[in-house]
Amino acid sequence: MLKVITEQTAIKKYAGQFNKKFKPFIDEEIKVKLGHQGASFPAKVSWSSNLGIWKFSRPVKDVRHWNAFGVGKPGMSSVLSIASEINFPWAQIDRKTGGTFAQDSWDNVFVVHRGKIGGGRKGVGKSLFEQNYRGVWSFMEDGDSISQVAVIGHLASNRFALQAAQFVKKIEIMKLSAAESTQTEMDFSEITFREDLIGSEAPLPEDEIISACDHDLIVSELAALLKRQKIKIGNDTESELFAVDSSENRISHIFEIVTDTKEKSILAAAGKLLLQNSVAAVNPLPVLVLPKDKMNYYEPELRRINISAVGFHWQEEKAVFSGLEKIRFG
């Protein structure tokens, strides 16, 4: 189980590492008026076109390490509102502060969030987060209690800034969705791919957290690649990613993405694909995406049960896919 980090010196060190992770991605500093808690003040925010977010950080001595984020390149003409915050307590445990650092049994450090979100909109708060957030969940030893927290990312990862950016975007989508009326029916033409529908709602075992932190990135990278190939895609609460054959008005391919290399995880994903395929009105083609070295091992067996295999590996912070070119779309 993860354990909250409370020592002030350690928190200060990790808060510094947190900020350094974003620096290679920053394109420019932009002067804005930043809105916070009903007021605004002049500030310089750091904008990253690669991440698609801006960031503003400031230590509030003896209180917290404040980190504010927003989605999209900010303009300079109006007050800039904050999409989400990932704040850390100055020391010890502060459950009123959304973020904190946690450590696993192997001394890996993670940035986690308690689900405390705001924004001045009706229905936006911790309950919205707990009921709707999909990503990486885990249990954390939280002083004298156990808390369920969302894991934003693995602090030592080269991809941490990407993991954090995805968290920020999900929170923004969640807040915007809370302000809209619930849609009970959706026409086929309205199917889209939504970042906030990627990830799990159930807590993961401690030894699966590191690989799970990359899961959402893999799904998003694959979705972006399919879009560039002019393939219509979507997702929903049952499937993180599927392809659509618009000419026949049907889902043509369903994808299941596995970042954990355990055999039980790969077999469970294959079983899920077979079940989804069996209950579908028109049998879509199942595709299992897994680490490239595991793809080479499992591909013959997957082929026997009519599941296509696609492998992935990392080139710096980018996911590269192999085997996708063998799959026919449209």
86 touches 69 (CB < 8 A): yes
Q: Give the residue carrying structure tokens 């309950």.
A: 127
Cα–Cα distance for residue pair 48/223, rounded to 1 Å: 21
pLDDT at 183: 44
Relative to beta strand 28-36, strand 79-80 is parallel
Q: If you average pLDDT over residues 114-120, what whole number do you get?
A: 79
Instruction: Give 279's contacts (C-beta < 8 A, 6+ positions apart).
Output: none
**Mean pLDDT in the chain?**
91
The mean-pLDDT minimum among 64-78, 206-220, 260-274 falls in: 64-78
The 10s digit of each residue's pLDDT in 296-322 is 999 999 999 999 999 999 998 899 999
The 10s digit of each residue's pLDDT in 247-276 is 888 899 999 999 999 999 999 999 999 998
Cα–Cα distance for residue pair 183/236, rounded to 1 Å: 13
User: Is the pLDDT reported for residue 181 higher than 50?
Assistant: no
Q: If you average pLDDT over residues 110-120, what whole number do you get?
A: 86
pLDDT at 28: 95
pLDDT at 248: 80
The residue count for the chain: 330
Binning pLDDT at 50, 70 and 90, where does residue 121 land? low
Q: If you average pLDDT over residues 11-18, what whole number do you get?
A: 98
Q: If you average pLDDT over residues 183-187, what whole number do you get?
A: 43
The 10s digit of each residue's pLDDT in 25-62 is 999 999 999 975 567 889 999 999 999 999 999 999 99
pLDDT at 119: 60
User: Is the pLDDT reported for residue 232 higher than 70?
Assistant: yes
The single-letter code of the amino acid at 71 is V
Cα–Cα distance for residue pair 131/147, rounded to 1 Å: 15
Binning pLDDT at 50, 70 and 90, where does residue 184 land? very low
User: Is the pLDDT reported for residue 328 higher than 50?
Assistant: yes
The domain spans of the chain are 1-181, 214-330
167 touches 193 (CB < 8 A): no
DSSP secondary structure string for all residues of 40-67:
EEEEEEEEETTTTEEEEEEEETTTEEEE
3-state SS, residue 141: strand
